[in-house]
Amino acid sequence: MTLRPMSSSDGETSDSRPSFAFTAPLRPEAESLEGSLIQEVWEAGFGRENLIGLWVGEGDLPTPGFICEAAIASLRAGNTFYTPKRGLPELRDSLASYHNRLLGTALSAEDVTVTASGMSSVMLCMQTLIRPGDRVAIISPIWPNVVQAVKIAGGQPVEVGLDAKPEGGFALNLQKLARILDNERPRALFIATPGNPTGWMMESDEMQQVLSLCREYGIWLLADEVYHRFTYDRPVAPSFLSLARADDPVIAIHSFSKAWAMTGWRIGWLVHPAELGDIFGRLIEYSTSGGQTFLQAGALTAINDGEDFVAEMVQRCREGGEIVYQALSELERVRIAQPQAAFYSFFAIDGMHDSLAFCKELLEETGVGLAPGAAFGSSGEGFVRLCFASSPARISEAMDRIKPLLK
């Protein structure tokens, strides 16, 4: 095959988007992917001394030793071969039992597929459901990766903004959602509850109404429940899995990252109608070809023996969230809600209209890294996100540093 030599007129693709100096075009969906505004602030702080970075969604605790030991033992035992595509059977069994124990569901291993992270779970859903041009309604502000995953699949994200309450916190306007579903006829509705970045959490009665809408319109409900253990007024967050029938168009997205401090392991799972199992298995075969066997041994220990650690993690976040709330709620310019779920404070600052510039300035002046609200969709401007999954001492120090700039 002969490639055309590059000429000066080749600097633009046919749709006049500038391209690299390649003689063959890239996929527009890949070429036009946006970088993250969180990353932009992170880069501004890279290498800075005495930095307190509260911008990304992870805590300051490493994975507990007993989980690491299980993975190491499995590696040493020679579990280094190809693995079943949908995950080790005993891990899928344990994940089904985990949900049944927590939520009173009646799931079996057939309803569960192990994935290469929560992000990978999101991507598998898009690959399974979204055709080019399909709309995906997304409750926002939202973790930006979801929007980009829709675009990679060739779909069109449609934001459904939560209403910001005057006293802080967020609420879903169900009439507005119903209107958007009726007008836009999306193929899927994506809801992260508990939510990143807002910490908003849906109640069961709202979930029931949303599920009815999805049934009525034939829309897939993608329920991102990766923060379901991080609740501060009850033991576990309400779940769409408790309400869904076996034939409902509901897929739940899960991850080991948050509750077991395993962000670097890249393991997650999906709970789905059993009939989707084969499709997910094939998509995994043709992408990652399955997860690392010995890491799944660690994940199995996390799910079977990790409850004390989860409780410790949630308690740490409860304290962190309380420190942030106490420190910032007394400031006149700040609108902040008492933490209800997830491990973020997403607060508004009166008079602040450019959250990216504000976060860069805050970083420069105080050495504290926060995430700009604009990173989480158009309804996020005017807000900043702070992850409080760190030690009380670290969070207190961050509060001492940033309070003067928020007065």
Ligand X SMILES: Cc1ncc(COP(=O)(O)O)c(C=O)c1O
Angle at which helices 307-329 and 392-406 pack, to 10 degrees?
20
Q: Does 129 sit near ligand X (CB under 6 A)?
A: no
Q: Does 220 sit near ligand X (CB under 6 A)?
A: no
Q: Does 263 sit near ligand X (CB under 6 A)?
A: yes
* Residue matched to tokens 């990353």: 39
**Cβ proximity to ligand X, 33 vs 246, nearer residue:** 33
Among 41, 119, 126, 371, indicate the residue that binds ligand X (CB under 6 A): 119
**Cβ proximity to ligand X, 92 vs 258, nearer residue:** 258
**Helices marked H in 203-354 — which ranges?**
204-217, 240-243, 277-285, 293-305, 307-329
**Cβ proximity to ligand X, 263 vs 379, nearer residue:** 263
Q: Which stretch binds ligand X (CB under 6 A): 82-90, 117-125, 270-278, 325-333?
A: 117-125
Phi, then psi, of 271 in degrees rounded to 5: -115, 130
In Å, what is the CA distance from 345 to each residue of 53, 326, 339? 14, 12, 7
Among 117, 231, 366, 390, indicate the residue that binds ligand X (CB under 6 A): 117
CB contact set of 46 (below 8 Å; sequence gap of 6+): none
Among 63, 94, 257, 293, indicate the residue that binds ligand X (CB under 6 A): 257
d(C-alpha 159, C-alpha 137), whole Å? 6
**Hey, what are 397's tokens?**
């120090």
Q: What is the smallest separation between the CB atom of 189 and ligand X, expressed in angstroms? A: 15
DSSP state of 271: E
**Hey, what are 296's tokens?**
């799944």
Q: Which stretch binds ligand X (CB under 6 A): 113-121, 181-189, 237-245, 320-328?
A: 113-121
The residue of the chain with the least Cβ separation from ligand X equals 118
Q: Work out the number of other CB atoms within 10 angstroms of the CB of residue 378.
A: 10
Which positions from 131 to 150 touch ligand X by CB under 6 A, shown as an x/- string? ------------x-------
Q: What is the smallest separation between the CB atom of 232 and ligand X, expressed in angstroms? A: 17
**Hey, what are 154's tokens?**
């060739």
Q: Does 226 sit near ligand X (CB under 6 A)?
A: yes
CB contact set of 102 (below 8 Å; sequence gap of 6+): 236
Rule CB under 6 A: which of 165-194 touch ligand X?
192
Q: Does 268 sit near ligand X (CB under 6 A)?
A: yes
Among 53, 118, 157, 186, indicate the residue that binds ligand X (CB under 6 A): 118
Q: Which stretch binds ligand X (CB under 6 A): 99-107, 242-250, 255-263, 296-304?
A: 255-263
Q: Does 224 sit near ligand X (CB under 6 A)?
A: yes
Q: Does 53 sit near ligand X (CB under 6 A)?
A: no
Strands (E), 26-169: 52-53, 112-115, 135-140, 156-161, 163-164
**Cβ proximity to ligand X, 111 vs 224, nearer residue:** 224
Q: Angle CA(394)–CA(395)–CA(398) in degrees, nearest 5?
A: 90
Q: Are 122 and 145 in contact (CB under 8 A)?
A: yes
Q: Does 200 sit near ligand X (CB under 6 A)?
A: no
**Cβ proximity to ligand X, 143 vs 325, nearer residue:** 143
Q: Are 147 and 157 in contact (CB under 8 A)?
A: yes
* Residue matched to tokens 């080019």: 132
* Residue matched to tokens 């604009």: 374
First to last CA, the chain: 65
> How many residues at the interface with ligand X, by CB under 6 A?
13
Among 94, 148, 196, 390, indicate the residue that binds ligand X (CB under 6 A): 196
**Hey, what are 162's tokens?**
């939560």
Rule CB under 6 A: which of 320-359 touch ligand X?
none
Q: Does 225 sit near ligand X (CB under 6 A)?
A: no
Q: Which residues contribute to the site for ligand X (CB under 6 A)?
A: 57, 117-119, 143, 192, 196, 224, 226, 255, 257, 263, 268
